[in-house]
């Protein structure tokens, strides 16, 4: 089903003519979108997000692959105990 709007054709999701809802491009969410407060500048948010990604356990497949020689992540930290030091 296609609907014409001012010389442009928009494909619709539903085939029922009574509920025509044109498909719109999904708006890209920012990586920094809903995680951090707006008063931080972007570079600081990027540094904080990098530290957040680093703060995760070692994947199970790594533990298996290394025959349990690598078990813990040395960069792992708790948010209360240690500071991030990103500025």
Predicted confidence band of residue 87 (pLDDT cuts 50, 70, 90): confident
d(CA 35, CA 49): 9
pLDDT of amino acid 29: 57
Predicted confidence band of residue 82 (pLDDT cuts 50, 70, 90): very high
- Whole-model pTM? 0.55
Read off the pLDDT of residues 15-74 as tens digits, 9 standing for 90 and up. Answer: 555 555 555 555 555 655 566 788 999 999 999 999 999 999 999 999 999 999 999 999
Q: How many Cα atoms are found within 13 Å in the side-chain-facing hemisphere of 54?
A: 13
Nearest to 1 by CA among 9, 12, 81: 12
Strands (E), 1-87: 2-5, 8-11
Domain limits, the chain: 46-72
């Amino acid at each position: 089903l296609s609907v014409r709007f001012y010389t442009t054709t928009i494909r619709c999701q539903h085939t029922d003519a009574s509920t025509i809802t044109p498909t719109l491009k999904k708006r890209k969410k920012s990586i920094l979108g809903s995680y951090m407060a707006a008063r931080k500048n972007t570079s600081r948010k990027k540094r904080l997000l990098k530290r957040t990604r680093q703060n995760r356990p070692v994947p199970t497949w790594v533990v298996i692959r290394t025959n349990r020689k690598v078990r813990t992540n040395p960069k792992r930290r708790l948010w209360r105990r240690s500071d991030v030091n990103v500025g």
